Amino acid sequence: MKQENPIILVVDDDPNNLTVLFDVLDTGNYEIRIAKNGERCLEIVQHEKTDLILLDVMMPGMNGFEVCSRLKADRNTRDIPVIFMTALSETINKIRGFELGAVDYITKPFQVEEVMSRIKTHIQLRNLMNKEKETDRIRKHFSSLAGQDLRSSLYILSAGTAYLKHHGAQLKEKDISAAFQSMEEVIRKMLLILENISASPENRTGPGFFSPESLDIARFTEKIHAEFSRLIQGSHIFDYSCRAGKIRLSADPLLLRYLLFHLLSNAFAYSPRGSKVSLTVCRKNAEICIGVRDQGKGIAKNELPHIFEAFRKSRESRGMGLGLSAAGHFAKLHKGRIEVESEKGKGSVFSLYLPEKKDTAAA
């Protein structure tokens, strides 16, 4: 998937400055928007995505300081980094800009290297901040939803044990056996939830969120199969095949484990007991395809375009409200993707595609 270029809004009333800045920015991978006054700037940011604003200080009508003040007072625009453009050299004006929330300033006449360097720096800082916010949001919501699922499971277990305690003597042996089987299913679900929590990258400690290393994909998926085989305790038929050979990929083991655990957890949770779930690994063109196939209830066609949207829930919802969204995001971090084939009543196939490439570290 092609990465979107950062969008920079240039706010200046001087046509010559606009021409110079447009020519400078056009040499980088940026999309450029123009506003010739402060009022137009405030209109644009309310309706168009903006990654950074280059804001002239001295403009007729609403000056740059007032525009910046309004941007920072609005919760929808306060996080957009603002770089002031000014011919003023007095320290007091620079200090005022920083006090209003600007992240930097550049002076006229413009120096190309300075302009490009400062823009690049603040775009990178914004991207890092956005990733941190998204990670924190995922972590909090993931923990909340997992807690809800565990509480629901515990209530079911509590009700089941209370029922057996008070009515067990009057029940037939087959009814007692069925009750215990239902309770075992609940316990198995709880184990899968706990495994998802422990596998979740939100529980990672250390400085790096995405830390790829050399992985033998066959050995890695064999271990995943072995772990899940122990977890499901014979509740399903769990097949595994690998036709990819001995290939090493550059991948983050924690993120990849979480991704596969989530796909497999859904496959077992939405498939009837005794049905087959398959984990397959193969080469397709210049990619490695890791497939998870189930014989569950499937996903309605109208839900398929939305299953990777964060926090979306539906009657056909798979897993927790952000699990597939996070899985899709982690696939993109690996320059991969997840494709889905499903038909109502006939099961689903989730295919993770990762680029096959030479691993010089393993050579």
pLDDT for the residue 316: 46
What would be the CATH architecture of the domain defined by 133-362? 2-Layer Sandwich (3.30)
The C-alpha atoms of residue 236 and residue 57 are separated, in whole angstroms, by 67
Q: What phi and psi, each to the nearest 5 degrees, are found at residue 203?
A: -95, 5
**pLDDT higher than threshold 70 for residue 322:** no
Average pLDDT over residues 42-50: 94
DSSP one-letter string for 299-363: --TTTGGGTTSTT---TT--SSTTHHHHHHHHHHHTT-EEEEEE-TTS-EEEEEEEE----GGG-
pLDDT for the residue 359: 45
Give the lowest-confidence range in 3-7, 54-58, 140-144, 259-263.
140-144
What would be the CATH architecture of the domain defined by 7-110? 3-Layer(aba) Sandwich (3.40)
User: What percent of the chain has pLDDT above 70?
Assistant: 76
Q: What's the CA angle centered on 22, arms 51 and 10, to 5 degrees? A: 40
Q: What phi and psi, each to the nearest 5 degrees, are found at residue 243?
A: -120, 30
pLDDT for the residue 200: 54
pLDDT tens digit sequence for 88-128:
665 556 778 888 888 888 888 888 888 898 898 898 888 87
261, 224 in Cβ contact below 8 A?
yes
**pLDDT higher than threshold 60 for residue 181:** yes
Which range in 90-94, 139-143, 216-220, 314-318 is most confidently predicted, on average pLDDT?
Answer: 216-220
- Cα of first residue to Cα of last residue in the chain, in angstroms, is 29
Closest CA to 334 of 297, 290, 280, 304: 290
Q: Which residues pair with 263 in a beta bridge?
A: none
Q: Tokens representing 80?
A: 């957009």
| Packed helices 323-333 and 112-167: angle between N→C axes, nearest 10 degrees | 140
Question: Containing H/E element for 147?
Answer: helix 112-167
Which value, to the nearest 10 degrees, does the dihedral of the CA atoms of residues 186, 295, 355, 120 take?
A: -50
Closest CA to 124 of 51, 68, 211, 212: 51
Question: What 8-state DSSP symbol labels residue 2?
Answer: P
| Burial (Cβ within 10 Å: 0-12, 13-18, ≥19) of residue 146 | middle
The C-alpha atoms of residue 317 and residue 294 are separated, in whole angstroms, by 15
**pLDDT higher than threshold 80 for residue 241:** yes
pLDDT for the residue 43: 95
User: What percent of the chain has pLDDT above 90?
Assistant: 30
The C-alpha atoms of residue 356 and residue 290 are separated, in whole angstroms, by 12
Domain positions in the chain: 7-110, 133-362
157-162 own/partner pairs: CB under 8 Å, 24+ apart: 157/183, 157/186, 157/187, 160/186
255, 210 in Cβ contact below 8 A?
yes
Q: Which residues pair with 106 in a beta bridge?
A: 85
Average pLDDT over residues 36-64: 93
In 168-300, which residue ranges form alpha helices assigned H by DSSP?
Answer: 173-199, 217-232, 253-269
340, 304 in Cβ contact below 8 A?
yes
**pLDDT higher than threshold 60 for residue 362:** no
Give the confidence band of 1 by pLDDT, cuts at 50, 70, 90. Answer: very low
Q: Whats the size of the chain, residue-wise?
A: 363
Question: Containing H/E element for 238?
Answer: strand 237-242
Give the confidence band of 52 by pLDDT, cuts at 50, 70, 90. Answer: very high
Q: What phi and psi, each to the nearest 5 degrees, are found at residue 98?
A: -65, -35
Q: What phi and psi, each to the nearest 5 degrees, are found at residue 114?
A: -65, -45
38, 47 in Cβ contact below 8 A?
no
Question: What 8-state DSSP symbol labels residue 26?
Answer: T
Give the confidence band of 142 by pLDDT, cuts at 50, 70, 90. Answer: low
